Amino acid sequence: MEILLATQNEHKKDEILAMLPQNFRLKSFKDYNFQGDIEETGKTFSENAYIKAKFGYDLAHIPCFADDSGLVIEALNGDPGIYSARYAGTGSFDDNIAKVLENMKNISNRKAYFISVICWVNGDEVNYFEGRIHGSVSTEIKGTQGFGYDPIFIPDGSIYSFAEIKPEKKNQISHRAIALNKFMEFLKRK
């Protein structure tokens, strides 16, 4: 089955590709020479995932899905939330991490969760699949694997950050894996 993943984040594409069954041909915006930005004007992860998936469907006219995900920190009133990728305003995850760690200084409540919402658009059909993994924000950067906030997120039941866990293991337990597993079950019924 040929489907489009509406993202320009190659790390996200690689992570999703590693989880998809072999019988999928995953296309991306690169296959359609699209290099612009899609303005994410939604106020929720679901709304932003829909904006991207609908744009991709209208561009390629094949089934399209998009993921919107982020880190939600209880003590920061849900920040960085839907602004996770642009939290520091520079587009750099090193800067985003630095801002989170600065904002979390002297805060004992470190509870957080990663959320991923996948939106599937195929014509008039729209479906959503959500995954969450709860954990905490570390006080320092730990590990070098992964991307985004992985070096400061420690999933519940672990002493290691996502950036210290082998990618294969992370891809079994992550918020994106949970959402993607629900999405795969949906596709099997099609």
Cα angle vertex 159, ends 154, 161, to 5°? 35
How far, in Å, CA of 165 to CA of 31, rounded? 31
β partners of residue 132: 115
Q: Give yes or no for a contact between 98 and 80, defined as CB atoms under 8 angstroms apart.
A: no
The catalytic position among 58, 68, 79, 95 is 68
* 3-state SS class at 141: coil
Question: Is 150 labeled as catalytic in the residue annotation?
Answer: no
How far, in Å, CA of 68 to CA of 130, rounded? 10
* 3-state SS class at 133: strand
Catalytic machinery residues = 68
